[in-house]
Chain A
Amino acid sequence: MSDAIVRGFVPQAKARPPRTPETHYLNVEYGVKSWLLTTDHKRIAILYLIAVTALFLLGGAAATMIRLNLMTPRGELLPADTYNKLFSAHGIIMVWFFLVPVVPTVLGNFILPMMVGARDLAFPKLNLISWYIFTIGGIITLWAILAGGVDTGWTFYTPFSTKAARTNVIPTIIGIFISGFSSILTGLNFIATLHRMRAPGMTWTRMPLFLWSSYATSVILLLATPVLAMALILVGVERAWGIGIFDPDLGGDPILFQHLFWFYSHPVVYVMVLPAMGIVSEIITCFSRKPIFGYIFVAWASVGIAVLGFLVWAHHMFVAGQSVYSAQVFSALSYLVAVPSAIKVFNWTATLYKGSISFETPMLFALGFIALFTMGGLTGLMLAALGVDMHVHDTYFIIAHFHFIMVGGTVMAYMAGLHYWWPKMTGRMYSDFLSKLSALIIFVGFILTFLPQFVLGYLGMPRRYHVYPPEFQILNVMSSAGASILAVGYLLPLIYLIWSLFAGKAAGPNPWGATGLEWQTPSPPPPHNFDETPVVTSGPYEYATEEITDVH
């Protein structure tokens, strides 16, 4: 590796004591109206932050109820119907109203235009419209869930959702359908921005990796969401009309719904995890003060995941009665998509080599991400193996696997990104001790919650079970105990982050000594980000050069 060493890292001179600029995007205007009619991507990001956090708390509350109910094998706490509605609510809220939007709309909206050196996204009004669409969709879905609920699970499998369910399926579907357009418009906005709004000199290979992964994410949002929208419409039509396309009585095939559904819902897993990977790439380089190892591989791995991610959907249907040949094709393709993920993990690890690693809060979360995501990804390999999937499909093994990816992966990385960019977004620093404590609590709570579920799953406990055989109780109690620790871990940041708004120290433009155009602006940034369009002359992670602050 020594041949690649060019120059060494030379620390910068001590910065001036940080202070908050006088005019920034937060105080340039005041009043509710100035927020609700804003087209500033940074303010819209804050609007999303509020909406998404509220929904996360609701989804989390549902999860808490589920875990409480599963403390005892007879499920005394909740009636079966309520339990079913709760896990459906948990899935629907968390997938469509938290995990999918969270990183693109909050961190992406805030950081992406600044990272490319633009004054805003390509379509600022569309961006605001997206937020309204998202909010309206969210309100309709929440109304459906709170006024009677829906008990189909987040997967809406036919013919249960079309014929048997007696709950608010149609309003829920309408809510998800509407919010889907928010995803589409956000993706569209990002792609247009990345193609057309990059600052002079910001070539594709000089883009930070968060931008590459945002691009890949947007492609998925743009091309997968419409299929889900249509699949849901078909369910709605069949349910409302009493006659439809997945109806076995007419010769329709209920499995067809699963094809359409997973055509969206598998790639959407990468919508959740790709931006998370982007965040981690930013943070690992920053806190080890080294350029990313193998930039081109990591960048193209994002694109590879986005494309290959579309070719594997039917691995959710290995035991669902699809053809044996088709199952083999999808199993083989599923292994391909593991390759780019593996590349990323190896390259992050290699980036640490010979670095100068400091363990600030974002870095702790990012390291937690790598560990948990690796476990999630590796168990995914087990699921891609047809023989093993036959046993663990639809059990807690699956639950554990995708929570490792989505909670251990996406949420961990979101926390990392939030802590990383929080000083930029608010101009304030949060409590160092409490934030590190919460990183630790979340990691430990997570492991305790979901590791037992792998065992439960291999033992055969099916998912979505309200009651279960008594021998599974101890593992379930362990999991529930872990969940309560996890809950504390998630509530803690809520407290100290809000606290930091009032009592936090001024952060200064670049508290982490990071590269990247977003750190060239004051914190919080001015309304139009840059007074002068910045000119980029070097790659994204010039940590190992003499000058790290000067990008011109």
Chain B
Amino acid sequence: MNAIFADVPLFPERASTTAYQVDALFFFLCAVCGGMAVLVAALLLYFSFKYRRRGEDDRTPRITGNHRLEWFWTIAPLFVFVVMFVWGAKIYTSVSEPPPDAMEIFVIGKQWMWKFQYPGGERAIENLYVPVDQPIKLTLASEDVIHDFFVPAFRTKIDVIPGRYVQIWFRPTKVGEYHLFCSQYCGTNHSQMIGKVFVVERDDFRKYLDGRKATGSLADQGWQLFLKFQCNTCHSSNAEARAPVLEGLANNMVTLNNGKKVRADDGYLRESILNPEEKVVQGWQPIMPTYKGQANEEDIIKLLAYIKSLKPGQTPSRNENSSPPLDAPRVPPKEKIEPGDRKPPYQPEGQNGKP
């Protein structure tokens, strides 16, 4: 008997800071609710035994209620509920606000696989490697239907919704290998849209990334796309530019032509690529064509990484080195453009061991 049950887990592993918070609340809820359940069950059993019918001549008292008692059990639970609500809301809010030093990893869900893109441009499917004790912010997008990114050991879960970005963050606390599930039903192989999250030491993480041999960082790849889509035709830094300069734009406030102010976050940038006429920056004409159908979710993630990495004076100007028109036979642009044209756009905080 013991042998069978030795391997049966009864409680999931805890591998993130969130997991401890969620479990603490869960234990509290179990205690309160369990207490109530035991109380009700005990009363049911006790009354059933004590007041069982002893004969057809049993007399019962006429008790029709007791307002004080009834008001008590109407009002009293509310106080307990307030605690449950506030505690739960606190955890939930903290999970939706990533710390500023979080490392950003992009996740794309599609039927039926998970794709990951690291800031250094490394790509992976199915298995996500993250360094221990480092806050990780995931930005997630879906290419088809709603999926859900669920890591039980982290106690975090978020639906990945087509048409927009969602975010979640966690701080892994324990080295190990954990399940990754898609927990929103997404079709035939829903139950096989699974993977593993490997929490590894920082050094191992660096080694892992080195082994992925990226063709340039995410921002580098974005830069290639930027040229491929000829974004620099309009988004150039020179005087005759027909579109806003993108340098230093990301995550700052911009004023739209209807006077509203919005933050140029990932969602805004994504929308501006796919639905450019929707939120036009004040002072510019809505002339940009949509890139819907040309840029897929992965491309947009790369472009975003590039735009976010752009510092003043780094926008490539149009010259004879500019990339050929869209879909022309591609030569790696890195070799065509002089190194002096731009500075390396992105360095992932010295973690990236690449030259």
Contact = CB atoms under 8 A, between A and B. Distances in A.
Contacts of B22: 387-388, 390-391
B311 interface: no
A80 B188 CA distance: 6
Given A353-B47, A385-B84, A468 B10 contact: no
Contacts of B93: 324, 328
Contacts of A387: 21-22, 25, 87-92, 95
A335 B84 contact: yes
B157 to A, nearest CB: 5
A297 B159 contact: no
A534 interface: no
A391 B48 contact: no
Interface in A448-480: 455, 458-460, 462-469, 471, 474-475
Contact of B11 (A297, A374, A379, A458): A458
A394 B182 CA distance: 10
Interface size class of A (residues with CB under 8 A): 35 or more
Nearest to B33: A378
A474 B7 CA distance: 9
Nearest to A375: B37
Given A342-B77, A370-B40, A386-B92, A293 B163 contact: no
Contacts of A80: 188-192
A338 B79 CA distance: 12
Interface string B177-197: 001011111111111100000
A495 interface: no
B15 to A, nearest CB: 12
A359 interface: yes
A254 B162 contact: yes
A518 interface: no
B234 interface: no
A254 B43 contact: no
B292 to A, nearest CB: 8
A287 B54 CA distance: 13
Q: Which among B82, B155, B156 has the highest number of chain A CB atoms within 10 Å?
A: B155
B164 interface: yes
Interface in A69-87: 75, 80-81, 84
A4 B63 contact: yes
A459 B12 contact: yes
Interface in B89-119: 89-93, 95-96, 111
Contacts of B65: 4, 293-297, 347
Contact of A288 (B60, B81, B153): B60
Contacts of A357: 47-48, 51-53
Interface string B43-80: 11001100111101111111111110110011001100
A8 B186 contact: no
Contact of B48 (A163, A336, A367, A474): A367
Contacts of A25: none
A335 B81 contact: yes
A293 to B, nearest CB: 5
A32 interface: no
Given A160-B145, A455-B10, A339 B77 contact: yes
A243 to B, nearest CB: 15
Given A251-B275, A391-B157, A467-B192, A353 B183 contact: no
B26 to A, nearest CB: 5
B62 A471 contact: no
Given A349-B40, A390-B157, A164 B88 contact: no
Interface in A144-203: 151-153, 155, 157, 159-160, 163-165
B40 A356 contact: no
Contacts of A389: 88
A346 B186 CA distance: 41
B63 A349 contact: no
Nearest to A248: B163
Contact of B91 (A155, A386, A465): A386
A75 B190 CA distance: 13
A437 B250 CA distance: 69
Given A157-B146, A378-B33, A293 B63 contact: yes
Contacts of B85: 331-332, 335, 384-386
B245 interface: no
Contacts of A469: 179
A324 B191 CA distance: 28
B50 to A, nearest CB: 9
A227 interface: no
A418 interface: no
A92 interface: no
Contacts of B61: 5, 8-9, 290, 354, 544
A327 B146 CA distance: 19
A545 B163 CA distance: 67
A393 B25 contact: no
Interface stretch (A50-58, A95-103, A314-322, A501-509): A314-322
Interface string A244-273: 000011011111000000000000000000
B37 A378 contact: yes
Given A294-B70, A460-B181, A464-B191, A164 B144 contact: yes
A347 B66 CA distance: 10
A460 B12 contact: yes
Contact of B66 (A4, A248, A320, A544): A4
A492 B10 CA distance: 34
A487 interface: no
A349 B60 contact: no
A290 B29 CA distance: 34
Interface in A327-353: 327-328, 331-332, 335-336, 338-339, 342-343, 345-347, 349-350, 352-353
Interface of B: 4-5, 7-12, 21-22, 25-26, 29-30, 32-34, 36-37, 40-41, 43-44, 47-48, 51-54, 56-67, 69-70, 73-74, 77-78, 81-82, 84-85, 87-93, 95-96, 111, 144-146, 148, 150, 152-153, 155-159, 161-164, 166, 179, 181-192, 275, 292
26 contacts: A1-B63, A5-B62, A8-B61, A80-B192, A159-B144, A164-B145, A165-B187, A328-B89, A339-B74, A342-B73, A346-B70, A346-B73, A352-B48, A355-B51, A357-B47, A358-B52, A381-B33, A385-B88, A386-B92, A387-B88, A390-B155, A391-B157, A459-B10, A469-B179, A471-B7, A475-B8
Given A359-B52, A374-B36, 5 more contacts: A339-B74, A370-B40, A381-B33, A387-B88, A387-B91
Interface of A: 1, 4-11, 75, 80-81, 84, 151-153, 155, 157, 159-160, 163-165, 248-249, 251-255, 288-297, 318-321, 324, 327-328, 331-332, 335-336, 338-339, 342-343, 345-347, 349-350, 352-359, 367, 370-371, 374-375, 378-379, 381-382, 384-391, 393-395, 455, 458-460, 462-469, 471, 474-475, 543-545
